[in-house]
């Protein structure tokens, strides 16, 4: 016996365009603004300051949409995403870089790596201040970083 999947139409969290939400909790990608909704992003922003799977927080994404900008997480959201999800990626000048947490909760080390190098940082603050690509600090070149995302 074939079961129909129950669906309802709800407004996109960002632009209000109707998107389909089914009984398994899945949301259709928004045809209007491209927003993808995985979880309760209001709650995720409250707890972690991020969204899933888009990473950029809901309120920041709404601001970007109003300004006609593409969705992109800022450096703070990327770092918060790291502690929420543990493994992150971004692209910079045609290269993909990875940032991940190594170790247990008490002694997390932040590893920043690509095919060319591996950097390790003992704290979030150290990572924020010192993580670099060929001497250029990550936080200073964030405008040129593309597609910061969950792994």
Which residues between 18 and 47 bind Zn ion (CB under 5 A)? 30, 32-33, 35
Q: Which of 7, 8, 11, 17 binds Zn ion (CB under 5 A)?
A: 17
For residue 117, give the DSSP letter.
Answer: -
d(Cα 50, Cα 70) in Å, to the nearest integer? 16
Cβ contact 145:91 at 8 Å = yes
* Pick 15 or 89: Cβ nearer Zn ion: 15
130-149 positions binding Zn ion, by CB under 5 A: none
Task: Give the nearest distance from C-beta 7 to Zn ion in angstroms.
Answer: 17
Please state, in angstroms and rounded to a whole number, the distance separating the CA atoms of residues 93 and 126. 24
Q: What's the min distance (Å) between Cβ of 9 and Zn ion?
A: 13
**Farthest-apart Cα atoms in the chain, separation:** 62
Q: How far is the CB of 17 from Zn ion (least distance, A)?
A: 5
Comparing CB distances to Zn ion, the nearer of 35 and 78 is 35
By CB under 5 A, which span of 15-23, 51-59, 80-88, 105-113 interacts with Zn ion?
15-23
Q: What is the DSSP string of 68-133?
A: TPPP---HHHHHHHHHHHSEEEEEETTEEEEEEEES-GGG-EEEEE-SS-EEEESSHHHHHHH-EE
> Is 15 among the residues that bind Zn ion (CB under 5 A)?
yes
Interface residue list for Zn ion (CB under 5 A): 12, 14-15, 17, 30, 32-33, 35
């Amino acid at each position: 016996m074939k079961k129909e999947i129950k669906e309802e139409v709800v407004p996109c969290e960002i632009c209000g365009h109707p998107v389909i939400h089914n009984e398994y909790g899945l949301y259709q990608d928004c045809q209007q603004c491209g927003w993808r909704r995985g979880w309760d992003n209001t709650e995720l922003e409250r707890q972690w300051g991020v969204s899933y799977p888009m990473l950029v927080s809901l309120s920041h994404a709404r601001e970007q949409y109003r300004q006609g900008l593409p969705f992109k997480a800022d450096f703070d959201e990327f770092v918060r995403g790291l502690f929420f999800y543990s493994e992150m990626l971004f692209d910079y000048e045609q290269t993909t870089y990875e940032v991940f947490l190594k170790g247990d909760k008490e002694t997390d080390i932040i590893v920043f790596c690509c095919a060319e190098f591996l950097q390790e940082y003992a704290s979030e603050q150290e990572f924020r201040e010192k993580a670099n690509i060929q001497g250029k600090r990550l936080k200073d070149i964030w405008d040129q970083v593309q597609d910061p995302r969950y792994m």
